[in-house]
Structure 1
Amino acid sequence: MLYLWEVSFLSNMEKHNLTMLNEFILMGITYRPELQAPLFGLFLIIYMMSVVGNLGIIILTMIDSKLQTPMYFFLRHLAITDLGYSTTVGPKMLVNFLVDENTVSYYFCATQLASFIMFMISELYILSAMSYDRYAAICNPLLYTVIMSQRTCWVLVTIPYLYGTFVSLLVTMKIFNLSFCGYNVIRHFYCDCLPLLSLLCSNKHDIELIILIFAAFDCISSFLIVVVCYLLVLAAILRMNSAEGRHKAFSTCGSHLTVVVVFYGTLTFMYMQRKSSHSINIDKVASIFYTLVIPMLNPLIYSLRNKNVKFALHRTWKKICNIFSTV
């Protein structure tokens, strides 16, 4: 049934003149009309929770004096990247549930692809920077303020943003400087590298190699940093004599480890499958998880597992209530 619908859908697109390509058609998440309204409601709730949660983390870590430490500085930038790539995908996906033909302009598609790549790469290395911060705090507590100075913290977030911007512009320009042919239908709910590559009719070996090299380098290098840092942290914790000290050390790493496991686990599931076992629907579910669900979960993980965040939220709420009570 799905195959017949796709054949019909693609044949209807044959009328579009692709010699002067100025738009793409997103296939979307589902073709079934009865699922459009329920899925719109579900994803609207998920996206709004993501926006509120990540904006809350950003504002809280900026205004609360007790959260002016490197750990919460990196948490703020994690929230910025989560908010960035979920907003790159979410609003357009929600609009597509309400319209008959899910079209995006040529330039919007390029902008969406570049923004998504930039925020995803930045998040990978910000998670690595957070693991380095935990290593410095637990393995070198006496030198922590020296190692994680304000300048160091800014370097550790600025480099990922600049590098992510460079890679995103390189990949996007390489793809959109090539010729598209055949149908202009993207078998996804947003403009991503792999669905766009399938629409290219010129030689795409170079861009495929570039994407493969950068994807492998970014995932492996960032993950190795996390693994090495936490192996050193684990060794330091095991050397502690105090059970209370070990518990406190584990608790400071718990939220970050949870986020790392969820994020890298999803990416591994998405990109490490064999080509023969790939399914468009499975890829869409995995994409939904790391573009919308993970950005919603991260603020919840840090707010539910972190006492300092909960106390800061409580203090801020009391201040707001006091302001309104005096008005």
Structure 2
Amino acid sequence: MPALGEVMRKLNPWYHEGRLSRSLPRYEPPAPPPISTAAASVLIVVYALVYFLPFYASPTTRPSPTLSRDAPSVIRARIRSVSISCLLCCAATLAVLTRGGAHVSPADVLHLMGLWPPALADTARAVLLTALLFAGPLFAYFVVDAGWREWLRLEPVLALWGDWMTWRNIVAGPVTEEVLFRAASVPLMLVARTPVRQTIFLSPVLFGLAHVHHFYEFRLTQPQVSVAAAVLRSVFQLGFTTLFGAYATFLFVRTGSLPAVCAVHAFCNCMGLPRLWGRVQPQVPDDDPAPLRRRDEQRPSTGAVWLWTAAYYVLLVAGATAWWKNIWALTESPNALVSDLAFTAT
């Protein structure tokens, strides 16, 4: 049997023994990820439990028929609790990224968690993109309800600093939830090499489940509401929070910016759900001191109401269309955590 070198010389006159093996790089299989997708998912579930279970461990944060979750003392105690939970969960993620086999550098850790660079321009574009979805509600607030007058008096800013519910809904809630479910959770899915589309739609489900405990609190403080109505309310909240979580995760991996998703979350909490049906007319608060007769005199004409309604729904549809057309352009960033090709990979 001829030697291997002789056979190779006959097949390839340019062959020199040993040169081929030295010239071609050896295939090195990629190292396994430091954490699996299943393990990352379990850890995110643990994060969610660490976030809200302490609420029920202390009488200062545990709601009761006589103590609402909206009480200032409860809000303050819960903010302290979730702040500690966020620190613990971020420390756990940091350990996985730096000591769990991933060997991510400190600079890359800050980037993966959306902490650096701050990407203020990306934050502004993300808020602008989201505002397109609320073009109709913004018109209703600033034009129909004359909300611009409130901003001239800085009433929203004063309410932010003077009302604990507003502070929770606009600052503490969005920041702590985004720190936990984006900054601490998404890097786990990325180092687990979870497909991006799966990351976008899996972690928000866990984010939505973290709000299910509101069903218990609602039933506790609103016992007169039927169980069926409370269940429907919780299912709707689960669907809405999951949908928003997917959007926030998309923005996070596209911009690599924690401030961007915090700002978008706060903006959405300010706006609430947009009106999808009905006429648009000025909202008169229940505590308006004006007499009923004066309110009737100031009631807008039918023509004005129809004009406002038409403008609202035109802006709502146009804004949603503009959002869809610009979702990739306005989220493009050099700080993205994944490449554009990752969104097409299976």
TM-score (norm 1): 0.31
Which structure is higher in helix share? 1
